[in-house]
Structure 1
Amino acid sequence: MQSSATCPDLIDECAQVESGTPDNSAVFMVQGMRCGSCAIAIEAVLKKQANVSDAAVNFSADIAMIHWQQHKPDITLLKRAVARLGYELHTSTNPERSAQHAHKMRLQLQLRLAVAVVLGMWSMMPAILLYLAPFGAVEPEYQWALALANGLFAIPVILYSGSHFYRVGWRTLLAGAPGLDSLITLAVIAACGISIWQLNAGSHHVYFDAAVMLITFQLIARLLDSSVRRRASEVVHRYFQAIPDTVTVKNDAGEWVEQSADMIKPGQSVALHAGQQLALDGVVKSGSGQADLSLLTGEHAPQVMTAGDELLAGCTVLEGELELIITASVGERRIDRLSHSISDVLSRKTALQQLTDRIARALIPIIMVAAVFAVLLALWQGMPVAESIARGVAVLIVSCPCALSLAIPLVVTMGHSSMLQQGIVLRDPSALESAANIKVVVFDKTGTLTTAEPSVQSVQPASGVSENELLQLATHILHEAVHPTAKGLQALLGDKFVSELPGMRESIVGEGTRWHSGQGVALAGRASWLIEQGVALPPLIHSGMQLHLASQGHYKGSIYFHETVREGVAETIHTLRQRGVAVYLLSGDTQQACSELAARVGIEPSQVLFERTPEQKHRFIEALEKKAQVAFVGDGLNDGLALAGAGLGIAVGQASSATGMAAAIYLSEGVTRVPVTLELAYQSRTLMYQNLFWALAYNALVIPLALWGWIHPVIAAIAMSLSSVCVLFNSVRAAKK
C-alpha cells in the first residue's frame, strides 16, 4: 500500500510552494564551540539581541544563522555579545581554520580523558579500601590518610580534566540557558566541597571518587559525540571546492590576464576557453560554444551558448570560446545562495534532537530542586549538616543524565561501524532518526539512476552498409571528441575506438563534426545539419539522442543512444514500492528524457518531475515533507540543497565531495543499497529510543530513592555509571545488525 504522498495532486500542491521566498537571514561561522551546551548558550544570547527575530546554532557544522524581519541587526554588536561568552563569530567561512580548531579541540579532549582515566584509577584505589573498611580491611588510624590520598589523586582530574565543564556551565548559566554542564559543575563542586569539609573535620567520609567518575564518563560521551558529529562542519566549507578562484579578465590596456575571482566586479569582461570552468555568474557577450551545466542543473547533455545566454559559476565550456559580462561577484553568485540555503537547513534541529533538548531542560531544574529538597528533608529529620549535604550530592550525582547524553552518540558509533561494512557511510547521526518513518524516496536522474555517458540503443546502417562499417566510420569521425555520444561509442567499442587513419577533424558547435581525410569528407551530427550539407536522409524517427553519419555526401546510417541505467535500479525501485514506499523522479533534465527513464525503471508517470532548478527541487522536497517523511537520493553538486533539506539525504556513486558531505548518508555502491540503508537506520533509531527510555526510567527510579537517603553518594556514582553501561550494552546491538 502506498502513502497518500503518491497522489498526483500533491505534485501540484508542492509546485505552488516553489515560488516562496525565504526570510531575511545571515549565516555565520562560530569558533570555539566544544559541545552542544556551547551552541545552546550562543543561541540564547543571539535571540536576545536587537532586531533578531530568531536564531539557530548548529554545533556539528559550526554554523550560526540569524533571522530578522525588517532591520538587519548590527553585526558588530552580535560579535561582541558572542565574544562575552568566550566564542568568536565570523562572517566568512574558513575551512582550514575550522579544521585546525576541530583537530585542536579533539586532541585536548583526548588528553583530558587520558588524565582522568590514569589518575582516576589511582584515586579509586584508596577509595576501594575505604569501602572495605567496615569489613576490617583497613585499620581506623589509616582511613583518614586514605581519604586524603583519594583527594590528592583526584586533584588533576577535577582541576584539569573537568575544567571545560565548569567554563561552559558558567557561560550557559550567564546566558540564562543552564544545561548538562551546569549540572555537572554543581555536582563536582558539591562533592568536593563536602569532602574537604569532612577531611578538615577529621572524617574519612569523602566523595572525590564520585566526582572523578562523573567527569570521566562525561568526557567519554563528548569524545564519542565529537568523533561522528564534527564531520558535518565540512558541508558548507567544502561546497566551493569545485569552483576555480581565478578568471581571465581584460585589463585597462585591453590585454587578457589572470586575476583573482574575488577582485572582479559586475560589468567586467572575462574570457572562457574550451575546458575552462567559470568562477562567476555572467552573460555571454560574444562568441559561441557548448557548455556543461550539470554542476547546477544536473543535465549532462551539452548546451549551446550564444550571445545573451546566462552562464553560472561552476559551469564548464566544452567547445568554443566565450566572452562574458559578469553579473554577480563572489558572495552574490547563484552557488553562494545555494550555500546559504544549505547552512539554513543544517542549522535546524531534528525532531529527536528537539525532544532530547526538551527533556534535558525539564530534567535539570527538577534535579536541582530535588537536591535542595533532599538537604532540607534530611535537616528536618534531624541529620547532621554534613550528612544532609551528602544526601543532596547523592541526588545530584545519581540523577545526572549521563546515560541521556550517551544514548544517541553510542548508537551512532556502533551503527556506523556496521554500516561501513556494507558500503554505507554515515555522515550525519540525525539520519538514523529520520529514516525510521521514511514513506517517500525521491531520486535524482542523471548520475544517480543513470551514468553520465549514454549507451548505444541501436545501430541503423543504410542500405549496403554493414553495422561494423558504420561503427568504424563513427570511430574515425569522433576519435578524441568530448561529446557524450563519443563517450558512449567508446564505452561500446573499448579499445576498438581508435582511428589509425590520418585526417583533420572540425567541430561545429551544437551541430556535429566534420572529418577530412584521404577518403573524402565524412560527417557525424544532427539530421538537420547533414541536410544543410547536402546529404539526403531517409524518413527518421526523432526520439532521444541520435547520431547521423554521412561520407562523401552519401547517408551511411544512424546510431541511436539512450541513457545508461545503473545496474540494479529497477530491482531497487521495485523493492521500495513493495515495502509501501512511494518513489519519485525529480530532475533538471527534459520531460522526454525523464519520462523515458521512468518507464524503464518502473516509476509512475504521475510521480515524475522535470526541468527543476536546485531551488525548486528543495522547495518541492520541503512541501512533500509536510505530507510524509522524505529521503532524497542524488549525486551532483546541484543536488546539495535538496540532499541537505530532505529528512534523509543520500548521496550515491561518485558523488562530488561537496555533495557527499551535504548528504546525511553516502552509498559508494549506488542506489542498490538504499533499501538496506533504510532498514538499518530504522533499527538504529529503535535502539536510540530504547536508550532514551532507559535513561529516563533510571532517573524516575533513583531520584526518589536518593531523596529519602537510601543511596550513598559513592553508590550514586556507581549507579550513574551502571546506567551508562546499560546504555552501552544496548547500543552494541547496533554493530551486530
Structure 2
Amino acid sequence: MAATAPFSVDAESEIQQEQAQQSMILMVEGMRCASCAIAVEARLKKQLNVSDAAVNFAADIAMISWQGDKPDINHLKRAVARLGYQLHTSLCPERSARLAEKMRKQLQLRLAVAVVFGMWSMMPAILLYLAPMGAVEPEFMWPLALASGLFAVPVLLYSGSHFYRVGWRTLIAGSPGLDSLITLAVWAAVLISVWQLYLGLAHVYFDAAVMLITFQLVARLLDTSVRRRASEVVRRYFQDMPDKVAVQDEAGNISQQAASSVRLSQRIILMNGQQLALDGVVQSGTGQADLSLLTGEHEPQTLIVGDELLAGCNLIEGELTLIVTATLGERRIDRLSHSINKVLSRKTALQQLTDRIARLLIPIILVAAGLAVLLAWFQGAEFTSAIGRGVAVLIVSCPCALSLAIPLVITMGHARMINTGIILRDPAALETAADVKVVVFDKTGTLTTDTPSIKQLLPASGWSEQDLLQLGLNVLYEGAHPVAKGLVASVTNTAMAEQVTPNTQGERETIVGQGTYWRGEHGTALAGRASWLLAQGIPMPELIDSGMQVHLAFQGQYAGSISFQETLRLEALPTITSLQQQGYAIYLLSGDSKQACHDLASRLGIAATQVLSERSPEQKHRFIEALERKDKVAFVGDGLNDGLALAGAGLGIAVGQANSATGMAAAVYLPDGVQQVPTTLKLAKRARKLMYENLFWALAYNSCVIPLAIFGWIHPVIAAVAMSLSSLCVLLNSVRMQGKAPTQGKKT
C-alpha cells in the first residue's frame, strides 16, 4: 500500500463548512446498558421538531438536533419518562459517576446470584441428562426437574429482571434488541418447563434459561466495566479547577466567594501561583501566565491591561485584577466540554453495525421459531414437543456470542495493553485503528519536555562560556520562569555541574515580563530581554531577540546571551522515524508559535508543509476533521487544549504526564511517552480484526444452527450447550489478543 499523500495545509481552509444545525446536549439518567440507549434514542427521534438524536450509554448523554423550531424540552422529558428514564438539561458528571458505580455493583450482585443458584439448578439437570444411561431411576426424574426449577427461581426473578425490563422498554419504543430476544427465550423456556411439570413430565429447560441469563450478565458486566469510564470525561476536566475566587467590591474590600456565585463584570484578584477559575480581562496589574493548558504555548505570556485570561490558566508571576467576562457554564473550558460531549455522542461504525445485526436477527429468529413450531405440528408432533422445538430455536439462536464479541476483545485487549504500558480509555475508538494512515502529533509536552535546554552560549568579548553560564546561574537560580528552570536543569545534567555552582547569596528582584536583578557580593548583574537591558543603560551590540533567549550584564557591561531550545524527548525522534518508515504521514499540530514549531519539525524530519502552528483547540479539532475526510487519523497529544482533538480523532492517544481530563478524553493513554505509539497502533489493529472475526463466527454459528433447530435436530438442552459453545469459541478467539504483538514491517 502506498504511503498517504501529504494533506496540504492550505486545504484546511478550502473545506466548506456544512450547514449549521442546532443541537443540545442532555443527560439521561437510569440507563443500564446499550439497549437502554437504543430505546431512548428511538423515542427521541420520534418527537416533534427533532431532526436527529444520538444517545451514548457510556457517557449518559443524548444529543438532539433540530432545524427550525426548537423541540419542547418538557415534552421530551415526558416522552423519555414513559420509558422509565429521566432527562436532564444540566449535565452532572458526579451524579452520572455515582449511578454508574451503583449499577455496576447491582450487576455484580445479580451475577453472583445467577452463579450460585444457577450452579444448584444445573446439578439436578445434569442428572436428568444422564437418565437415559440409567443414572437416575424414573420415579426420581420429576422431583429432580422440580428441584432444577426451584433453584432457578432467584435467577429468573432477580438476576434476569433487568433484561425483561429493558426488553419491554425497547419493544414499546419500537426498537427491540438483544434484551427483547433474551426475555422471549427465557420465558418461553420457563413456560414450557412449567407446563411439562404440570403434566408430570421431566423434560424441563430451566438450566438453559439460567445459562442464558448468566452468560448475558457476564457480557453486560464486561461491557459496563470498561466503557462506563467515558462518563468521567467532563468531571475530570473540572476536578482541579478552584471553586473559590477572591472578589473585590467597589470599596476595594477583598473576600473569598464561591466561583458559582460570581457574576459578569465583577472584579476578581489573581495572585502569584494561582489558577484562574473564570474567564476575565485584565483591568490592572501585570504578570506572566502559563497558558499551555488551553493553547499549548510553551513560553509564559506577559499580560497587560486589556489582555484576556481564560479559566484554567496559571499566573506564574505578578498580580492581576480582572473583570469577569464569562461565568460558570459559559467559560471557554465549558464550551470545550460541550464540544467533547457532542463528539462522544456519535456512534462508531461497529456500534452501528452491531445494532443493525441485532435488529435484523430478531424478526429472523422469531420467524424461524414459528416455522419450527408449525413444521413440528405438520409432522404430527404433540403440542408440547412442537413448542419445545420453537424454544430450541430461540435458545440456540440467541446471539450470546454476538453480545460477547466486542466486550471480550476489549477486556483481553485492555489486559494486554496494561502489560505493555498502555492504558485503554475509550475502546470504541479502536475500531478505526486498522485504517489509520495519518498520525498527528501535538508538540509541547508530547514531543518535548516542559523544561527548555541550552541551545547556544554567546559570551561577549572578555567572557568565557563558563563565566557566562556561572553568571546566568547566579541571577536566575530558583526563578519561576521556564528559562530559569531550563538553565538550572541544563547545568545539572552536564559535565559542567562540578565546575559551575549557583551562588545562593545576594538579593534577587524580578520585573515581570522583563528580567531579573541580582545584587551579589561583587556587584550587580541583570538577566532579561535585550530591550530591558538597553532601558537600564547597558550598552548592547546590535542584537535581535529570537525565540527563547536571555541577555546578561554585570556591573553595567554586557556579558553575552544564552539561547534556549525546547528539549526533545529521547523517544521522539525514533518514534517519528519508525512511523515514517511504516508509511504513516506525520503532521505537527500545535498552539505554539510558527518559529518554534518549524524548528522542532526540522529536528524531527517532519516536512514544513505538514506543520500547523498557532492553532486553538477548536481549530485543532477542525483540522483533524478535515484530515478524517481524507484518511483515518490518530492524534497524539498532551494537555487540556488537546482534549477536543483527542476525542474527535479516529484514534486519540494521550501521552506522558497528560492531565486526567486529556487521559479520559483519549482512546488510549501512554504514561511512558510516545515510544508506545507504534505498538498501540499494532495492538489496536489486532483488536479490531478480532472484533470482526468474532462477529463473523457469531453470525456463521447462527446461520448453521437455526436450520438444524427448525427441523428438530437440536434438542433444547443441546441448544443451550451449543449456545454456550458458540460463546466459548468467541472467548478462545478473543484470547489471541494476549499474544505477542505482530512485527509490522514497512508499508509499500
TM-score normalized with structure 1 length: 0.97
- Equivalent AA in structure 2 for residue 6 of structure 1: P
- The CA distance in 2 between the partners of 1:454 and 1:547, in whole Å, is 12
Shift of 1:364: 1.3
User: SS of the residue aligned with 1:132?
Assistant: helix
- The CA distance in 2 between the partners of 1:390 and 1:155, in whole Å, is 20
- The CA distance in 2 between the partners of 1:85 and 1:238, in whole Å, is 30
- The CA distance in 1 between the partners of 2:29 and 2:570, in whole Å, is 44
The reply on whether 1:546 has 2:549 as its aligned counterpart is yes
Shift of 1:385: 1.1
Q: Deviations over 1:627-661 (max 9, x none)?
A: 00000000100000000000000000000000010
Shift of 1:348: 0.7
- Equivalent AA in structure 2 for residue 79 of structure 1: K
- Hey, what does 1:470 align to over in structure 2? 468
- Hey, what does 1:483 align to over in structure 2? 481
- Hey, what does 2:643 align to over in structure 1? 640
- Hey, what does 1:596 align to over in structure 2? 599
Q: Deviations over 1:316-352 (max 9, x none)?
A: 1222222111111111111111000000001111111
- Hey, what does 1:682 align to over in structure 2? 685
| 707-716 or 371-380: bigger deviation | 371-380
- Hey, what does 2:36 align to over in structure 1? 38
- The CA distance in 2 between the partners of 1:540 and 1:726, in whole Å, is 72
User: SS of the residue aligned with 1:242?
Assistant: coil
- Equivalent AA in structure 1 for residue 516 of structure 2: T
Question: Which one of the candidate residues 255, 265, 268 is aligned to 1:267?
Answer: 265
- The CA distance in 1 between the partners of 2:95 and 2:306, in whole Å, is 40
- Equivalent AA in structure 2 for residue 719 of structure 1: A
Distance 1:683 1:657, change over 3 A: same
Write out aligned runs for 1:664-679 (5 A): 664-679=667-682
Shift of 1:23: 2.8
- Equivalent AA in structure 1 for residue 6 of structure 2: T
Question: Which one of the candidate residues 323, 326, 333 is aligned to 1:325?
Answer: 323
The reply on whether 1:522 has 2:516 as its aligned counterpart is no
User: SS of the residue aligned with 1:450?
Assistant: coil
- Equivalent AA in structure 2 for residue 350 of structure 1: T
- Hey, what does 2:216 align to over in structure 1? 218
Shift of 1:192: 0.6
- Equivalent AA in structure 2 for residue 146 of structure 1: L
How much identity, in percent, do the aligned residues show?
69
Q: Which runs of 5+ in 1 are unaligned?
A: none
- Hey, what does 2:718 align to over in structure 1? 715
- Hey, what does 1:453 align to over in structure 2? 451
| 31-40 or 440-449: bigger deviation | 31-40
- Hey, what does 1:194 align to over in structure 2? 192
4+ long deviations beyond 6 Å: 18-21, 495-498
User: SS of the residue aligned with 1:537?
Assistant: coil
Q: Deviations over 1:194-249 (max 9, x none)?
A: 11111111111111111011111111111111121111111122111232222211
Q: Deviations over 1:351-378 (max 9, x none)?
A: 1111111111111111112111211222
- Hey, what does 1:163 align to over in structure 2? 161
- The CA distance in 1 between the partners of 2:3 and 2:71, in whole Å, is 44
User: SS of the residue aligned with 1:630?
Assistant: strand
Shift of 1:20: 6.7
Distance 1:634 1:501, change over 3 A: closer
User: SS of the residue aligned with 1:227?
Assistant: helix
Shift of 1:91: 2.6
- The CA distance in 1 between the partners of 2:15 and 2:32, in whole Å, is 38
Shift of 1:691: 0.7
- Hey, what does 2:746 align to over in structure 1? none
- Equivalent AA in structure 2 for residue 80 of structure 1: R
Kept after mapping to 1: 8 A contact 2:470/2:501: no
- The CA distance in 1 between the partners of 2:69 and 2:284, in whole Å, is 41
- Hey, what does 2:616 align to over in structure 1? 613
Kept after mapping to 1: 8 A contact 2:451/2:566: yes
- Equivalent AA in structure 1 for residue 390 of structure 2: G
Kept after mapping to 1: 8 A contact 2:58/2:228: yes
The reply on whether 1:184 has 2:182 as its aligned counterpart is yes
Write out aligned runs for 1:572-591 (5 A): 572-591=575-594
Distance 1:562 1:2, change over 3 A: farther
The reply on whether 1:368 has 2:371 as its aligned counterpart is no
| 80-89 or 202-211: bigger deviation | 80-89
User: SS of the residue aligned with 2:25?
Assistant: strand
Kept after mapping to 2: 8 A contact 1:224/1:413: yes
User: SS of the residue aligned with 1:6?
Assistant: coil
User: SS of the residue aligned with 1:465?
Assistant: coil
- Hey, what does 1:6 align to over in structure 2? 6
- The CA distance in 2 between the partners of 1:590 and 1:18, in whole Å, is 26
User: SS of the residue aligned with 2:657?
Assistant: coil
Shift of 1:80: 2.2
User: SS of the residue aligned with 2:420?
Assistant: coil
- The CA distance in 2 between the partners of 1:311 and 1:22, in whole Å, is 29
- Equivalent AA in structure 2 for residue 503 of structure 1: G
- The CA distance in 1 between the partners of 2:575 and 2:237, in whole Å, is 30
- The CA distance in 2 between the partners of 1:101 and 1:633, in whole Å, is 31
- Hey, what does 1:439 align to over in structure 2? 437
| 245-254 or 468-477: bigger deviation | 245-254
Shift of 1:669: 1.1
Write out aligned runs for 1:268-347 (5 A): 268-347=266-345
- The CA distance in 2 between the partners of 1:125 and 1:280, in whole Å, is 64
- The CA distance in 1 between the partners of 2:402 and 2:185, in whole Å, is 17
- Equivalent AA in structure 2 for residue 74 of structure 1: D
- Equivalent AA in structure 2 for residue 617 of structure 1: K
- Equivalent AA in structure 1 for residue 418 of structure 2: L
Write out aligned runs for 1:654-673 (5 A): 654-673=657-676
- The CA distance in 2 between the partners of 1:658 and 1:185, in whole Å, is 39
Shift of 1:623: 1.0
- The CA distance in 1 between the partners of 2:606 and 2:2, in whole Å, is 13
Shift of 1:544: 2.5
Number of positions where the alignment pairs a residue of Structure 1 with one of Structure 2: 735
- Equivalent AA in structure 1 for residue 295 of structure 2: T
Shift of 1:501: 4.8
- The CA distance in 2 between the partners of 1:7 and 1:319, in whole Å, is 41
Q: Deviations over 1:143-163 (max 9, x none)?
A: 111111111111111111111
